[in-house]
Amino acid sequence: MRLYLLFFMGLFLLNTACHRPPGKLKKERPESVALHFMHAFLDGDFEKAEQLSTPESKEILVFFEQTLNAVTESERKAMKAEAAANKKRIKTAECELLSSQEALCSFCCDQDGKPLSGSKMQLLRQEDNSWKVVLELPQAPDF
């Protein structure tokens, strides 16, 4: 009887230790964060995208959200249709560690199964040991 009790107690502890609450993202891997961020962004779920971003990146996401809210309904539908088509193409993310705190990720796949061009994203490990997306506005050219 004691052996059964220890066995079931062990199973319970193992199950509890491995269980994540529903909707909780696994943030230990940059690939997971990059993929969840991109899907949230393309869905227009800026709140979720912000949770996966650095504080500095949130300002850029607010700009995108305000821009989306400022366009006409027909433009918004066209943008959402294009985003949905792009989301279907983004199946995986591959990340190269640049350092212990930075990774450069690309998304896959185009029609030929190759990484999508122009799909690089830099990620930064924050103090809370989770990867966060770093968004930066492009630099204006010098004239």
For 102-131, how does the pLDDT look when each residue is reduced to its tens digit (9 = 90+)? 999 988 876 676 767 767 777 877 657 899
Percent of the chain with pLDDT over 90: 38
In angstroms, rounded to a whole number, what is the distance separating the alpha carbons of residues 11 and 21?
Answer: 18
| Domains, the chain, ordered by start | 30-133 (3.10.450)
61 three-state secondary structure: helix
Whole-prediction pTM value?
A: 0.71
Closest CA to 104 of 123, 131, 132: 123
The rounded radius of gyration (Å) of the Cα atoms in the chain is 20
Across all residues in the chain, what is the average pLDDT?
A: 77
CB 71 within 8 A of CB 59: no
Q: Residue 125 class from Cβ within 10 Å (0-12 exposed, 13-18 middle, 19+ buried)?
A: middle
Q: Is the pLDDT of residue 101 over 60?
A: yes
pLDDT band at 33 (very low <50, low <70, confident <90, very high): very high
Q: Which residues 6+ apart lie within 8 Å of 135 measured at CB? A: 53, 54, 56, 57, 60, 61
Q: Is the pLDDT of residue 12 over 70?
A: no
Instruction: Tell me how long the chain is.
Output: 143
Closest CA to 76 of 85, 68, 66: 68
DSSP structure class, residue 44: T
- Which residues make beta-bridge pairs with 105? 95, 121
